[in-house]
Amino acid sequence: MLSISRSIIPVAIVLLAAGSVFAEAEESGTLSVPPEDSELLIVENINGDIVLRTGDSPNVEVEWFITYDDENDAGTVQVLHDDSDGLTIWSEWPDEGDVDAEVQIFVAVPSDIPLECILETVNGEIAAENCPGSVVIAVVNGDISASGIDGAVAAEIVNGTVYFDDCPGISSAEVVNGSIHGSIETLDGDLDVETVNGNIELSIPEGCAMISIESLNGVIDLEGFEGAAVITELVGSYAEFGEGECKVYVCTVSGDIEVTSD
C-alpha cells in the first residue's frame, strides 16, 4: 500500500547587516511503495542531491527535503511520483519566476530485490551505495559516487568528479570536465573510463583485465604491473598490458593518468 506524507516548516533568518528580515521555508515528505510496483526506479532532480542506499524496509522508502531561501516561494516546488510503470520520482519547478530552492531526495531500496535504477540531477551530487540492482547515474554539475553496487553501473558527468569502488558490474565512467577516481577488485565485463579535461586514478589488480591507456596531454604513471611500459609519442602517450577476459580502456585528453595494482 502506497503512503505519502508532507510538512512545511518556516524558519526565520535575521540579516542584521542588511537591516532586514528574510525567512526560509523547509518542506519535507515521505513515500512508501511496495517493490512489486517498482521494478524500475527513476529519480530525477533539478537542483539538489540524490542518495540511494539499501534500507531495512521491504518497501521502497523515499524521503525528501525542500529548502527555500524565501518563505514566499514555499509550495512552488513539488516532489511528485508516478507508479504506473515502475516508480518515477521527480522534482517539479514552476515554469515562471525565479525560485531559489534546493531539493534533497533520499531513497532506500530493499536489500533482497535487484531494482533497475536511473538517477539524474542537473545541479547536485548523486551517491549510490550497497544496492543489489543496477544503477545508471547522470549529473550535469556535481559529483557522483558509487560503492557496493552488485549490478551494472554507468556514470556520466559534464562538470564534476566520479568516484567508484566495489562495483564489479561497472561498464562506464565518463566525464567532460573533471576527474575520475576508481578502485576495482573484480570485473564482470568491459569498462571505459574517460574524461576530456581531468585526471584519472584507477586501482585494479594485476591480471584482472587487458588494459589500454591513452593521454594526449599528460603523464601516465603505472605502478605494480610487471613488464608494463609507457610509450611516449610526438603527441601523447599510451600503454597496453595485462591479461584477462575483460577489457579496460582509460583515456584523458588533457590530464594525468595513474593506474596502480594493489
Q: Report pLDDT digits (tens) over 81-96.
A: 998 888 999 999 998 7
Average pLDDT score, the chain: 89
Q: Region 57-79: what's the mean pLDDT? A: 93
C-alpha cell recorded at residue 260: 596502480
Report residue 7's pLDDT band, with 50, 70 and 90 as the boundaries. low
Q: What confidence score (pLDDT) does residue 17 get?
A: 40
Q: Region 167-173: what's the mean pLDDT? A: 97
How long, in residues, is the chain? 262
pTM of the model: 0.89
pLDDT(248) > 60 = yes
The total of other beta-carbon atoms located within 10 Å of residue 131's CB is 28
Q: What confidence score (pLDDT) does residue 190 get?
A: 97
pLDDT(2) > 70 = no
C-alpha torsion sign, points 50, 53, 59, 63: negative
